[in-house]
A and B are shown apart, each in its own frame.
Chain A
Amino acid sequence: MLGKGVVGGGGGTKAPKPSFVSYVRPEEIHTNEKEVTEKEVTLHLLPGEQLLCEASTVLKYVQEDSCQHGVYGRLVCTDFKIAFLGDDESALDNDETQFKNKVIGENDITLHCVDQIYGVFDEKKKTLFGQLKKYPEKLIIHCKDLRVFQFCLRYTKEEEVKRIVSGIIHHTQAPKLLKRLFLFSYATAAQNNTVTDPKNHTVMFDTLKDWCWELERTKGNMKYKAVSVNEGYKVCERLPAYFVVPTPLPEENVQRFQGHGIPLYLFLQIWCWSCHNGSALLKMSALPKEQDDGILQIQKSFLDGIYKTIHRPPYEIVKTEDLSSNFLSLQEIQTAYSKFKQLFLIDNSTEFWDTDIKWFSLLESSSWLDIIRRCLKKAIEITECMEAQNMNVLLLEENASDLCCLISSLVQLMMDPHCRTRIGFQSLIQKEWVMGGHCFLDRCNHLRQNDKEEGREGQDTQSKPLNLLTVWDWSVQFEPKAQTLLKNPLYVEKPKLDKGQRKGMRFKHQRQLSLPLTQSKSSPKRGFFREETDHLIKNLLGKRISKLINSSDELQDNFREFYDSWHSKSTDYHGLLLPHIEGPEIKVWAQRYLRWIPEAQILGGGQVATLSKLLEMMEEVQSLQEKIDERHHSQQAPQAEAPCLLRNSARLSSLFPFALLQRHSSKPVLPTSGWKALGDEDDLAKREDEFVDLGDV
């Protein structure tokens, strides 16, 4: 009895004028020809999840062919998510469901994913928060993962509107106690059925053994040791239970320094990673500004002690990189990201095309890509110090838990091929971000506190003895088929030597890949030649020379030299990897940022097209391989075809697997915005192509 109502937009039929009498019965709405019976779409609850409130006859807007239409359904709010239960999901065929997330459906918004909630009142969009006096006709939810949901409440009963809107606002905006976070009830209810393959699992860095393993892997155990003084967080809650310090540092030494108001333990140089040449990446919190001379004195002697240990052989020279003062501020990053994400939170087609004309300048004014570039550049600089100059690098930051995590993990990604495997990458995030004490709760504002105060105590999740589920168990979320999409089909493992040697190989780095450590500066050009060209440069080319030739200052720049030198050679994917950081090379990560925007999807195109060809070919090769193997072993022709990952889906959207298969028609998307003024070229634009008067023809 419920159908798809056309609710305006594009060239479609205009919706009935919003009258706020919400008793227009669905039957009275102008509906599309096709009458669909509302299916009993059941709400899928996770173990421990509870339904809090709901509303029926909610219309969810769906964008199609630059015209919106609506789908009726139920909007519910649980203690984990907001979910829309409509009939559009039934359209999915089997192939599609295999790629779906098993925990979070297409129309589910987890409470923590909600970024902003807007209400539309008389066609005006307003941010919703707190207690509402008036309830909106339309609810727009912007998500942190950049999805935009629009729900029309015009046909919903008034009391249901009140209940659902205030419910959603309350559960997404009111400050939350840590223990109320859904994961705790989930963890209690759900069984942890994680099957860990001991050989091939993510290193969680929550045991001493894990750190020892990492030390051994990177050969850092020659100069550094893992300590367990903070076991059970008895020394300091902000430090991980286990961590790594320079070997000569006595463990008792550490405890001596507590109890002076500031836990000096915080200012230890903590080891992140060791390079094959022995240089290490370390991090340390910056000392707070102290007034008390006595405390300053203690601080100083503490630091002196540490420096003395580390400046002595066998340790390399330490270069200190103060990220708090010489690098991006967190505020800058935050501001840039909020501007940047706004570019992708698009309510409708008109907005898409309006912003399209000035897209590049909008992108630039967000500074986000520039920030990405600067992060990469900083990581390359540090890589250069360690790789080419054989220096230890000490990252310094107020809490050593934000930019330290960022830079340290980028450096490891560039230098350590292990971090580029999936397991290695997951372990890296555990080590640098989770154990590194990155304040995820604050930075993502999971508890929705408004105060800007940092370093809240007493919310240390690490100390909770709960056996929480880990995100790294992908089987909780995805079918095996979809999990294959987590793998990069281009990745080729390093060829292994035979089994006897494998163990030794595993922890070995690519020594042969390192660049010459000597500073091979370009030899100055021979005297007379140099003079001649200098003259020429000065006399003839004048000011433009800076654009023409790299100035000699730049040549001195170690960074530039290192960078250029690396890029002029062929790449070994199992060695050092430096990203390109030139303007045209830093691009928007389209698959993440554009994935929910229907206008941005290329049907049957994009990178997905080549990747799916690649996957097909891989399966073909694999099945051939199996056939050959079987022939050899059993002399029988095998019959079973290897299942193709993306079979029957020849034409995937460029947004796959986010926008699923051929759900959209093949109509082209046409820009609706006009031409922007050319400015200084206006006179040219008025000219004609050819200067011939046709009048007398």
Chain B
Amino acid sequence: MASASTSKYNSHSLENESIKRTSRDGVNRDLTEAVPRLPGETLITDKEVIYICPFNGPIKGRVYITNYRLYLRSLETLSSHWRFEVDTCLFQDSSLILDVPLGVISRIEKMGGATSRGENSYGLDITCKDMRNLRFALKQEGHSRRDMFEILTRYAFPLAHSLPLFAFLNEEKFNVDGWTVYNPVEEYRRQGLPNHHWRITFINKCYELCDTYPALLVVPYRASDDDLRRVATFRSRNRIPVLSWIHPENKTVIVRCSQPLVGMSGKRNKDDEKYLDVIRETNKQISKLTIYDARPSVNAVANKATGGGYESDDAYHNAELFFLDIHNIHVMRESLKKVKDIVYPNVEESHWLSSLESTHWLEHIKLVLTGAIQVADKVSSGKSSVLVHCSDGWDRTAQLTSLAMLMLDSFYRSIEGFEILVQKEWISFGHKFASRIGHGDKNHTDADRSPIFLQFIDCVWQMSKQFPTAFEFNEQFLIIILDHLYSCRFGTFLFNCESARERQKVTERTVSLWSLINSNKEKFKNPFYTKEINRVLYPVASMRHLELWVNYYIRWNPRIKQQQPNPVEQRYMELLALRDEYIKRLEELQLANSAKLSDPPTSPSSPSQMMPHVQTHF
């Protein structure tokens, strides 16, 4: 499928070219050249500002605002010893560059007013979704602050101004089409589906069964479409139990759904009960079906008041229910806020560990991982099939199923496999990206916003840290996903569910993030990757091993920069290059030897003198 559209995507990423160009060019340049621009990106304005850099102090510069980004170039050279070389905050010809997609902006505030003393003592404070704040001071005359505020507000929050998100204006072309990466039929076929017990249903083709589910679902063979419709009435937002993953050998499954609508009166639904039993029987197991309710039990109980609840023992005889104690989206949001407080702009020094603990961030990570390990273990040991839900089955449920699948199925640990996992468990199953991230929306206090997907990526990072040879992708891959989660440059994470995306014709009108990544895969590869089929990965969900992801959360602080590139990786890459060179050399020698068997050796020097030797003791 991927080959079909190659002619349409035949040029390379222009982004990379523009960056290369600016880094090479000289001091004099005209305005249009000063800002890297994507096809479809237009310059709106530029202003002279003072950028109040928390690490380098105030810096005078010129800021350019396009319909996609805010770009700042300092006008003076920095004093040398303060100049940190950070890749996130580029330095070119000794000037500082800020390159921020407007999509990351969550809030723009004016600082100071007309009554403030000092000529230029007022400015803008921009809060970003990616753990930083940008502060600019502007001149009072000429309404430069008002202009900048209005333009930024307009383009950072296009939805409030009836403007399109930049993804719909982006005209980038790539030589691969990321939209073809995920094809549900192919993915289910890879899993060996349909089979005798599971069928693919098109009951939701036009999203009439459940508007937040994908069009294509895998359900038990023995459940008819009518059964499904009846079950839907008993599951919150009709999110019925459907298959996420099947174990290739023991045929136990991971099934996901939303909470049952039990309510205060403890309602029951025979169809739902029977349906769960049908799921249990698909692998002919005698044991009970395991239900993991991701919530703390108190919350599950409290949900009864609003019509929700959980599967009770009386109603579901053949099921065993466990609560996984993962907190709700509000707790996670507040926790991340606290993380920002201790890392930006300055890192809490004296009580780093207790401050970190007080954010609870890693504790939440620990609980999510612990839950996923339990799911994976149940399925892998063949003890029983697993049904996972939380309240609506699009936040914690997505975290648990996708992490468990990552532990169980090495396919998802490759670059494309991971893209498929995200595309499947998150995007197609209706994780509400638009609400959780607030793309193009100015309401920064919206209670729907929450870093659930970031938390998932953090869990993946923790796993990749614990198993450094098990993942094809590197840290940069995870970071670029998070960067474009906010940037609005690609259509990948826009909208809340598949039906909305289809209405907006996202795949036709926008570019996929996977196009950017897959056309430049080498950059995102982990050199240590060792492909191992059928290896189940169980991370250790202990605080002793969980770490704050410094390269993401504290990446703006040049002081906390970790060794880049990682010395082990660097050394390994050197050895790889050396190996390739030696292999080539050996082949040449073999050829030479066979060519002139009778001739005396012509080379006077030994090869070890001619080429670099490994600089290590053996």
Contacts and interface: CB of A to CB of B under 8 A. Distances in A.
A632 B606 contact: yes
A105 interface: no
Contacts of B585: 628
B198 interface: no
Given A620-B579, A632-B601, A635-B593, A492 B616 contact: yes
Nearest to B558: A568
B543 A614 contact: no
Nearest to B395: A689
Contacts of A696: 307
A621 B582 contact: yes
A689 B303 CA distance: 10
Contacts of A357: 363, 543
Contact of B354 (A364, A548, A605): A364
Nearest to B530: A613
Contacts of B528: 609-610, 613
A358 B357 contact: yes
A364 B353 contact: yes
Contacts of B562: 585
Contacts of A676: 363
Given A567-B559, A568-B81, A674-B325, A540 B307 contact: no
B538 A669 contact: yes
B571 A490 contact: yes
5 contacts: A353-B542, A489-B616, A603-B538, A621-B578, A632-B589
B52 A536 contact: yes
B298 interface: yes
B330 interface: yes
B525 interface: no
A380 to B, nearest CB: 14
A603 to B, nearest CB: 7
B466 interface: yes
A684 B306 contact: no
Interface size class of A (residues with CB under 8 A): 35 or more
A625 B544 contact: no
Interface in A610-627: 610-611, 613-614, 617-622, 624-625, 627
A522 interface: yes
Interface string B307-342: 110000000000000000101111100110000000
Given A533-B50, A603-B538, A568 B82 contact: yes
B71 to A, nearest CB: 22
B374 A625 contact: no
Given A548-B54, A583-B347, A697-B307, 6 more contacts: A533-B52, A610-B568, A614-B572, A618-B614, A625-B582, A666-B538
B582 A624 contact: yes
Given A694-B308, A695-B263, A611 B568 contact: yes
Contacts of B331: 678, 681, 684-685
Interface stretch (B119-127, B153-161, B213-221): B119-127
B144 interface: no
Nearest to B572: A614
A586 to B, nearest CB: 8
A690 B541 CA distance: 29
A578 to B, nearest CB: 12
Contacts of A678: 327, 331, 360
A621 B335 CA distance: 48
Interface string A361-386: 10110000110000000000000000
A25 interface: no
Contacts of A583: 347-350, 352-353
A614 B571 contact: yes
Interface of B: 50, 52, 54-55, 57-58, 60, 79-85, 111-112, 116-123, 135, 137, 233, 236-237, 261, 263, 296, 298-299, 302-303, 306-308, 325, 327-331, 334-335, 345-354, 356-357, 360, 362-363, 366-367, 370, 373-374, 376-377, 390-392, 395, 447-448, 466-470, 528, 530, 535-545, 547-548, 550, 554, 558-563, 567-569, 571-572, 575-576, 578-579, 582-583, 585-586, 589-590, 593, 601, 603, 606-608, 613-618
B353 A628 contact: no
Q: Which 10 A-B pairs have the closest CB atoms?
A: A583-B352, A535-B118, A694-B307, A668-B538, A695-B307, A522-B79, A359-B543, A624-B582, A360-B357, A533-B58
Contacts of A618: 575, 614, 616, 618
A669 B121 contact: no
Contacts of B466: 602, 605-606, 654
Interface in A543-562: 547-550, 561
Nearest to B617: A487
A582 B615 contact: no
A631 interface: yes
B236 A625 contact: no
B120 A535 contact: yes
Nearest to A581: B349
B209 to A, nearest CB: 14
Contacts of A631: 586, 589-590, 593, 607
B617 to A, nearest CB: 6
Contacts of B554: 584
B95 to A, nearest CB: 15
Given A359-B544, A568-B85, A625 B614 contact: yes
A363 B328 contact: no
A353 B308 CA distance: 33
Interface stretch (A146-154, A260-268, A593-601): A593-601
B567 A522 contact: no
Nearest to B550: A584
A671 interface: yes
B141 to A, nearest CB: 13
Contacts of A621: 575, 578-579, 582, 614
Contacts of B544: 356, 359, 588, 590, 594, 600
Contacts of B561: 567
Nearest to B527: A613
A451 interface: no
Contacts of B370: 670-671
A455 B351 CA distance: 36
Contacts of A610: 468-469, 528, 568-569, 572
A692 B306 contact: yes
A487 B618 CA distance: 9
Interface string A489-506: 111110100000000000
A490 B325 contact: no
Contacts of B366: 671
B554 to A, nearest CB: 7
B542 A684 contact: no
A37 interface: no
A694 B82 contact: no
Contacts of B467: 602, 604-605, 609
A564 B55 CA distance: 11
Contacts of A529: 50, 58, 60
Contacts of B123: 536, 540
B373 A668 contact: yes
Contacts of B536: 666
Contacts of B550: 584
A697 B353 contact: no
A687 B589 contact: no
Contact of A684 (B296, B330, B469): B330
A688 B306 contact: yes
A601 B540 contact: yes
Contacts of B363: 357, 675-676
A237 to B, nearest CB: 40
A638 B540 CA distance: 44
B468 A599 contact: no
